[in-house]
Amino acid sequence: MPKISNKGRNIPSSPIRKLVPYSDQAKKKGIDVLHLNIGQPDIESPIESIEGIKKNDLKLLKYEYSQGSYEYRTKLSNYYSKHNIDVTPEDIIVTVGASEALSFTFSSICDPGEEIIIPEPFYANYNGFAMASNVKVIPITSKIQDNFSLPSISSFEEKINKNTKAIFLCNPCNPTGYVYSKDEILEIGSLAIKHDIFIVVDEVYREFIYGNNKHFSVLEEKKFYNNAILIDSSSKRYSLCGARSGCIVSKNHDFLGACLKFALARLSPQH
Q: Is 184 exposed, middle or buried (0-12, 13-18, 19+ CB in 10 A)?
A: middle
Q: What is the per-residue pLDDT across 74-128, written as a single tens digit (0 to 9) for each? A: 999 999 999 999 999 999 999 998 999 999 999 999 999 999 999 999 988 899 8
List of residues 6+ apart from 223 with CB closer than 8 A = 189, 193
11 belongs to a structural domain:
no
Per-residue pLDDT band at 22 (split at 50, 70, 90): confident
| Cβ contact 217:206 at 8 Å | yes
How many structural domains is the chain composed of?
Answer: 1
Instruction: Evaluate whether residue 29 is within a structural domain.
Output: no
C-alpha–C-alpha distance, residues 172 and 166, integer Å: 18
Q: What is the pLDDT of residue 37?
A: 65
* Ramachandran region, residue 238 (left: φ > 0; alpha: ψ -120 to 50; beta: rest): alpha
Residue 167: beta bridge partners? 117, 199
**270: pLDDT strictly greater than 50:** no
Q: Which residue has the higher pLDDT, 19 or 216?
A: 216
- Residue 32 inside a domain? The answer is no
Strands 228-233, 198-202: pairing kind: parallel
Whether 76 maps to a domain, the answer reads yes
36 to 23, 81, 174, 206, 233: CA distances (angstroms): 11, 32, 12, 19, 20
Q: Is residue 22 part of a domain?
A: no
- Which CATH number belongs to the domain containing residue 215 in this structure? 3.40.640.10
- What's the pLDDT tens digit per position in 146-179? 999 999 999 999 999 999 999 999 999 999 999 9
33 within domain boundaries: no
Q: What is the mean pLDDT of the chain?
A: 90
Phi, psi of 107 (to 5 degrees): -70, -30
pLDDT greater at residue 211 or residue 206 = 206
Residue 160 lies in a domain: yes
- Domain span at residue 145 reads 47-266
Is residue 239 one of the residues assigned to a domain?
yes
